[in-house]
A and B are shown apart, each in its own frame.
Chain A
Amino acid sequence: MNHDELELLRTDFCGMDFQTPLVLLSGCVGFGEEYTRVVGYSNRDVGAVCLKGTTLEPRLGNPPHRIFETPMGMLNAIGLQNPGSRQVVDTILPELDFAETRFIANLSGSTLEEYVEVARIFDDSPIDAMEINISCPNVKEGGVTFGNDPEMSARVVAACRAVTDKPLITKLSPNQTDIADNARRCIEAGTDGFAVINTLMGMAVDIESRSPVIGNNQGGLSGPAIKPIALLKVHQVYQVAREHGIPIIGQGGVNSAEDAIEFLIAGASAVGVGTALFYDPLICAKINAGIVAYMNRHGLANVAQITGSLRLNDAGGSCS
Chain B
Amino acid sequence: MNAALSQRETIFVEEAEILAHDAHPGDQYTLRLQAPQIAARALPGSFVHLTVNAQRPMRRPISIMRVDAQKGYVDLLYKVFGEGTALLAQNGIGDTLNLMGPIGKPFEFHADKKRPLLIGGGVGMPPMIFCADVLRQDTNYQPFVILGSEVPFPFQSQPSEFMVPGMPGGVIAAMPLIEQWNIPSRLTSTQGYPGCHDGYVTDLARHWLDSLADEERHEVEIFSCGPHPMLEAVARLAKEYDLPCQVSLEEFMACAVGGCAGCVVQVQTEQGPAMKRVCVDGPVFDAYAVF
Contact = CB atoms under 8 A, between A and B. Distances in A.
Contacts of B9: 36-39
Contacts of B264: 61, 64, 66, 81
A68 B259 contact: no
Given A30-B261, A66-B261, A281-B100, A81 B275 contact: yes
B58 A69 contact: yes
Contacts of A280: 98
B261 A81 contact: yes
Given A28-B255, A37-B7, A61-B275, A67 B260 contact: yes
Q: How large is the interface on B (under 10, 10 to 19, 20 to 34, 35 or more residues)?
A: 35 or more
A78 B100 CA distance: 23
Given A30-B4, A33-B2, A64-B265, A278 B260 contact: yes
A131 B7 CA distance: 28
A129 to B, nearest CB: 20
Interface stretch (B10-18, B138-146, B201-209, B215-223): B10-18
B163 interface: no
B12 A39 contact: yes
A66 B262 contact: yes
Interface residues of A, number: 41
Contacts of B260: 27-28, 30, 67, 76, 78, 278
Given A36-B9, A39-B11, A95-B5, A279 B58 contact: yes
Interface in B122-173: none
A95 B6 CA distance: 11
A277 B264 CA distance: 19
Nearest to B82: A69
Contact of B251 (A31, A35, A65, A224): A65
B28 interface: no
B11 A38 contact: yes
Which of A34, A37, A255: most chain B Cβ within 10 A? A37
Contact of B261 (A61, A278, A282): A61
A74 B2 contact: no
Contacts of B274: 60
Contacts of A60: 266, 273-275
Interface in B62-119: 84, 98, 100
Contacts of A65: 251-252
B239 interface: no
Interface in B1-42: 1-2, 4-5, 7-13, 37
Contacts of B59: 278-279
B254 interface: yes
A52 interface: yes
Interface string A24-66: 0001111101111111100000000000100000001101111
Contacts of B253: 67
A275 B263 CA distance: 15
A36 B5 CA distance: 8
Given A34-B257, A92-B2, A67 B262 contact: yes
B212 to A, nearest CB: 36
A190 to B, nearest CB: 31
Given A37-B10, A277-B259, 13 more contacts: A27-B261, A28-B255, A28-B260, A29-B259, A31-B2, A34-B259, A36-B4, A39-B10, A64-B251, A66-B263, A69-B84, A76-B262, A95-B1
Closest 3 A/B residue pairs (Cβ)? A67-B262, A33-B4, A34-B259
23 contacts: A28-B259, A29-B259, A30-B4, A30-B259, A33-B2, A33-B4, A34-B255, A34-B257, A37-B4, A37-B8, A38-B13, A38-B257, A39-B10, A39-B13, A52-B261, A66-B264, A67-B263, A81-B261, A95-B2, A95-B5, A224-B57, A255-B57, A278-B260
